[in-house]
Structure 1
Amino acid sequence: MQFQQLAYFAAVAETRHFTRAAERVRVAQPSLSQQIRALERDVGAVLFHRIRGNVTLTEAGETLLPIARRILAETEAAYRSIRELDELGRGRVRLGATPSLCTGLVPAMLAAFRREYPGIELVLHESGSRDLQTELSEGALDLAMIVDSRVQDDARLESRPLFVEELVAISPKSAPAPVRGRMPIRALRERPLVMFRRGYDLREATVNACRAEGFDPLFAIEGGEMDAVLELVQAGLGLAVVPSTVVGNRFRRTQFTEPGLSRIVRLAYRRDVEQPRAVRALQEAILRFLGDGTAKLPPGTRSLVGVQA
């Protein structure tokens, strides 16, 4: 089994097409096919179903893919570490974050990092916490900012708390406040909600809080991502429960009665891989941003940098 063969295999698995995979890795398609067949002989199993141009992974291929991705990612990390020994004027960091974080604090964090290290390439991947952990574990990401409730047991991963953020109900500024002062969760019983798609951390947090009060919430509309939910609330379709970090000045913010709703955001990384200097630099910059007062955190959001997990 050769490194080049694993790279070709991963390219075919991701494109589901031999010709497009060959174009991606810049090799002639017959040579790529020959190397894939050689890899199949080495592992003793067929890796792809090839039916009328429809390429899909076999069970053996599904088993090999995360292993191949880890090997490729660790090899790339080794090359990057060597290239970055002398300076931090170059490099590449792949950061994963949830959609609400990308709408909230992440842009300011990355802007501060970019000012300090303009030569480092940043790649931001937006997805749910569970998917981000999988991609981090497989080596497709260097760091991931995830929600605490979604931290799954994985011997390859480690995480540390960054901040706790309050969840609040938002409504258009042009509409009357839902209640005076703080709002109890039970006040959501008769209020239609703009609800995120299934699998969204905020959807589960809202639904679970309502069910703890003995009712299922009423949805005015559901299935949106963060940007869509904010626009739907602005259009007057209903309330939404979101982190305080995404609210800004566009919406009326209503806090929940104590103990309220909140969530912890953590920074996750691989414990079994030596991080390149550029990755370490971003990790340190994020901690500095939250720990030295640089971040202008909204009410209800509190840094946990320096606090024991």
Structure 2
Amino acid sequence: MGFSNRDFTLLDTRLFKAFMAAAETRSFTHAATRAHMTQSGVSQHIAKLEEQIGVTLFKRIGKKVVLTDAGDALTQYIRHQMLTTQQFMDEVHAMETRIVGLVSYAMPPSCLMSPHFPMLLERRLAHPDIELKISLTSTQDVVQMVLDDRADFGFVTEKNDHPLLEYRLFCQEEYVLVSRDPSDGKRPSESVILEQAFINYPGSGYYYDRWLKHALPERCNLNAYSLTYAGEINSIHGAIDMVVGGLGVAVLPSHCVASQLEDGTLHRVETGKPLMNNIYITTIKGHDYPSRVEQVIDWFFDMTH
């Protein structure tokens, strides 16, 4: 559809304010107050509108003015235009703020069992155009995926001193040694710990190292390799099932076994002060991420407040 200059000069919308003020107040005097104009200014604007349209818009009856049929039609036209303009502005704003596209992030498998993941899915329901790609892997692999641009961001259990990475503290999680046997609940000695049969699973080495340093700080030479293993499985869910089945014990994030601890299926081995660890969100330092990625990261931080 073509257009000419005349199409844009048929009606001067700047004159609409004075007209609508007069139409609503039925008085040029009151219209001047409503429109923050002089009375002569209101009269001039309405006269220009009448000249542009070629019809009379008001009839003067005493001190009041009454809309003609043409004036009433113009009132409806302006109201419709105001509504259409507002709808257009709302749609454009929605287009600018609409979140569309792929957001990829990586995290240790235990993070999938935290309350934050269901909360993320709930947030995502309001933004169906976001596609989530989530990789479950070790902290070391999470870091490498972020560096290789295979993940927009990642959750890690420790900081890696790399010049390209930055870390923001997300939350803390507690690590606990759990057993099916309630008699294991008392604080164990070094000999008892070394006689225990542990379950090996992806990422468990980090948890075991941290727990040993916490439970036996005087034995700094002990690490995950010092332990005896009764079984190995490639998932944290399977490791929990093995412990529940009595095959061995394991150190796990407490949120992963919260229900088992609550119902008495598993029992916590006491070590005195709780073992807490920071969880960080890592990204490339100074990188200009798309708004969809920033939005998802903001969602996570909103969950902790």
Q: Which residue, 229, 244, 261 being the options, matches 1:234?
A: 244
Corresponding position: 1:161 with 2:169: yes
CA contact (8 A) 2:179 2:269 kept: no
Q: Which residue, 257, 268, 286 being the options, matches 2:282?
A: 268
Q: Which runs of 5+ in 2 are unaligned?
A: 1-93
Per-residue deviation, 1:116:
3.5
Per-residue deviation, 1:117:
2.3
1:196 to 1:212, Cα distance in 2 relative to 1, 3 A: farther
Greater per-residue helix proportion: 2
Instruction: Give the structure 1 partner of residue 299 of structure 2.
Output: 285
Map 1:4-153 onto structure 2 (within 5 A).
Answer: 86-148=96-158, 151-153=159-161
| TM-score, normalization by structure 1 | 0.58
| TM-score, normalization by structure 2 | 0.59
Per-residue deviation, 1:198:
7.0
CA contact (8 A) 1:169 1:242 kept: yes
Q: Which residue identity does 1:191 align to in structure 2?
A: Q
CA contact (8 A) 1:247 1:253 kept: no
CA–CA distance in structure 2, aligned partners of residues 257 and 208 of structure 1:
11
CA–CA distance in structure 2, aligned partners of residues 140 and 286 of structure 1:
20
Per-residue deviation, 1:169:
1.8
Corresponding position: 1:188 with 2:193: yes
Identity rate, percent = 20
CA–CA distance in structure 2, aligned partners of residues 206 and 257 of structure 1:
9
Corresponding position: 1:252 with 2:266: yes
CA–CA distance in structure 1, aligned partners of residues 208 and 96 of structure 2:
46
1:235 to 1:136, Cα distance in 2 relative to 1, 3 A: same
CA contact (8 A) 1:128 1:200 kept: no
CA–CA distance in structure 2, aligned partners of residues 242 and 198 of structure 1:
10
The DSSP-based 3-state class of the residue aligned with 2:156 is: strand
1:274 to 1:102, Cα distance in 2 relative to 1, 3 A: same
Deviations 1:181-236 (A, max 9, x none): xx356452332221235774224334555674546333222354312211211211
Instruction: Give the structure 1 partner of residue 12 of structure 2.
Output: none
CA–CA distance in structure 1, aligned partners of residues 218 and 212 of structure 2:
10
The DSSP-based 3-state class of the residue aligned with 1:86 is: helix
CA–CA distance in structure 2, aligned partners of residues 158 and 198 of structure 1:
22
Instruction: Give the structure 1 partner of residue 59 of structure 2.
Output: none
CA contact (8 A) 2:138 2:202 kept: no
Instruction: Give the structure 2 partner of residue 201 of structure 1.
Output: 206
CA contact (8 A) 2:116 2:303 kept: no
Per-residue deviation, 1:271:
1.8
The DSSP-based 3-state class of the residue aligned with 2:125 is: helix
Deviations 1:17-58 (A, max 9, x none): xxxxxxxxxxxxxxxxxxxxxxxxxxxxxxxxxxxxxxxxxx
CA–CA distance in structure 2, aligned partners of residues 275 and 132 of structure 1:
18
Per-residue deviation, 1:103:
2.5
Instruction: Give the structure 1 partner of residue 85 of structure 2.
Output: none
- Aligned residue pairs total 202
Instruction: Give the structure 2 partner of residue 176 of structure 1.
Output: 182
State which structure, 1 or 2, has the greater radius of gyration over its C-alpha atoms.
2
Q: Which runs of 5+ in 1 are unaligned?
A: 1-83, 292-309
CA–CA distance in structure 2, aligned partners of residues 198 and 245 of structure 1:
16
